[in-house]
Amino acid sequence: MMKTLSATFERFGGVMLLPVALALIAFLLIGRPSTWVTLTVAGLAMGMMIFLMASGLSLIFGLMDVLNFGHSAFVSFGAFIAASVLAFLGAWVSGGSAVLNIAALMAAIAAATAFGALAGWAFERVIVKPVYKDHLRQILITMGALIVADEIILTLWGGAPIPVPRPAVLTGSIVVGDVSIEIYRIFAFLLGLCVYVAMHFALNRTRIGLLVRAGVENREMVEALGFRIDRLFIAVFMAGSALAAMGGAMWAGYQSLITTAIGAEMMILVFIVVIIGGLGSIEGSLLGAILVGLMANYVAFLFPKMSLASNMILMMAILLWRPFGLKPAVKG
């Protein structure tokens, strides 16, 4: 009986159906279609931004077996660098030209992403490399690095909240009937989707991607086949850090006002996504991020006091059902 149910569940999409099921339950509880659409789009946009931050961490966990508690520093730096670039290009941001609006945003995201990649390279070489294969020291040294990074941000940008100007073309909402959808949320969702498609292509259609997938399963065997896994580690760490910074930049635009706590606040959700998605799995990260994004928005509307606890409960429920997450990388 259980086997038949399980086979039927898998045939209709398996765990990929969970966001649909969550959305349907929320629809019944919310009652008003326009509110439900607004919350669903907000949840998807939030999920995609969390996916940007979480996917790199998941690969770093899965491939390198590194517990990087400093990952949120890249989120914070990405947010503050993007805010500074947007402030510097203020005339482009607020001007009437849609091309300049988008160019300003792209420059902000590119600067954040490039900084993330370079800082990721330095972080891996100086801080992470000496503590491979030692989880306790990894936790201690990456948390120490996080504190130092937060202090650097505090020194450079100060402790007061910083406004993040949003490009004029992405302000406002699209109104269809009584449904109102923020344009920035649509943009965030589409950008996240593009990054996911690019990552999926890179992992499944390129030789480097093949090596990363193999390395997540068995690093030693990848070396025995003649590949230098340490070079792959650097590339993955840089990519993961760059994605975190990109996510931070997008999140800064979404929030409109950022503080030095931005990285730490997001890391709770990022860790939940990585754990419920399954280590080393990009599909798992996407699924986990969408579930977390939807859950956060639905619960914040339905039961505001349960907002923070809801994703913890989601994580516990999923881990009780699937201890290795929803879509972990296959091993062996």
Partner 1 sequence: MREAILRLDDVHTDIAQYHVLHGVSLDVPEGGVHVLLGRNGAGKTTSLRTIMGLWRARKGAIVLRHRDITALPTPDIARLGVAFVPENMGIFGGLTVEENMRLAAEGGRFDDERLQRIFALFPAMEKFWQSQAHALSGGQKQMLAISRAIVEKRDLILIDEPTKGLAPAIIRAMIDAFREIAKETTILLVEQNFHFARALGETVAVIDDGRIVHRGTMAALAADEALQNQFLSLSMEAH
Listed ranges 157-165, 167-175, 207-215, 255-263: which one lies at the site for partner 1 (CB under 8 A): 207-215
Distance of closest approach, residue 10 Cβ to partner 1, in angstroms = 14
- Judged by beta carbon, residue 185 or residue 213, the one nearer partner 1 is 213
Listed ranges 41-49, 121-129, 170-178, 203-211: which one lies at the site for partner 1 (CB under 8 A): 203-211
Number of residues counted as binding partner 1 (CB under 8 A): 22
- Judged by beta carbon, residue 81 or residue 287, the one nearer partner 1 is 287
Q: Per rule CB under 8 A, is residue 211 in the interface with partner 1?
A: yes
Q: Per rule CB under 8 A, is residue 225 in the interface with partner 1?
A: yes
Give CA–CA dist 328/124, Å, rounded.
24
Residue 329 tokens, joined: 């990388």
φ, ψ dihedrals at 179, nearest 5° = -100, 130
- CB 95, CB 101: distance < 8 Å: yes
Give CA–CA dist 125/130, Å, rounded.
8
- CB 277, CB 325: distance < 8 Å: yes
- Judged by beta carbon, residue 107 or residue 229, the one nearer partner 1 is 229
- CB 189, CB 45: distance < 8 Å: yes
Q: Per rule CB under 8 A, is residue 27 in the interface with partner 1?
A: no
Q: Per rule CB under 8 A, is residue 111 in the interface with partner 1?
A: no
Give CA–CA dist 247/55, Å, rounded.
10
Taking CB under 8 A as the criterion, the residue among 10, 228, 261, 303 binding partner 1 is: 228
Q: Per rule CB under 8 A, is residue 257 in the interface with partner 1?
A: no
Listed ranges 33-41, 137-145, 161-169, 204-212: which one lies at the site for partner 1 (CB under 8 A): 204-212
**Cα four-point dihedral sign 150, 153, 157, 163:** negative
- CB 58, CB 324: distance < 8 Å: no
3-class DSSP state of 176? strand
Cα pseudo-dihedral 243, 71, 327, 299, rounded to 10: -90
Q: Per rule CB under 8 A, is residue 213 in the interface with partner 1?
A: yes
Listed ranges 186-194, 206-214, 262-270, 305-313: which one lies at the site for partner 1 (CB under 8 A): 206-214
Distance of closest approach, residue 302 Cβ to partner 1, in angstroms = 38
Beta-carbon neighbour count of residue 129 at 10 Å? 14
Q: Per rule CB under 8 A, is residue 71 in the interface with partner 1?
A: no
Alpha helical stretches, state H, 12-159: 18-30, 33-64, 71-88, 90-94, 98-123, 135-157
Q: Per rule CB under 8 A, is residue 324 in the interface with partner 1?
A: no
Q: What DSSP designation does 262 have?
A: H
Taking CB under 8 A as the criterion, the residue among 18, 22, 222, 291 binding partner 1 is: 222
Give CA–CA dist 183/279, Å, rounded.
32
Taking CB under 8 A as the criterion, the residue among 4, 133, 220, 304 binding partner 1 is: 220
Contacts of residue 20, defined as CB under 8 A and 6 or more positions apart, other chains included, come to 13
Distance of closest approach, residue 222 Cβ to partner 1, in angstroms = 8
Q: Per rule CB under 8 A, is residue 218 in the interface with partner 1?
A: yes
Distance of closest approach, residue 64 Cβ to partner 1, in angstroms = 16
Residues 122-151 that bind partner 1 (CB under 8 A): none
Positions that interact with partner 1 (CB under 8 A):
207, 210-211, 213-214, 216-218, 220-229, 329-332
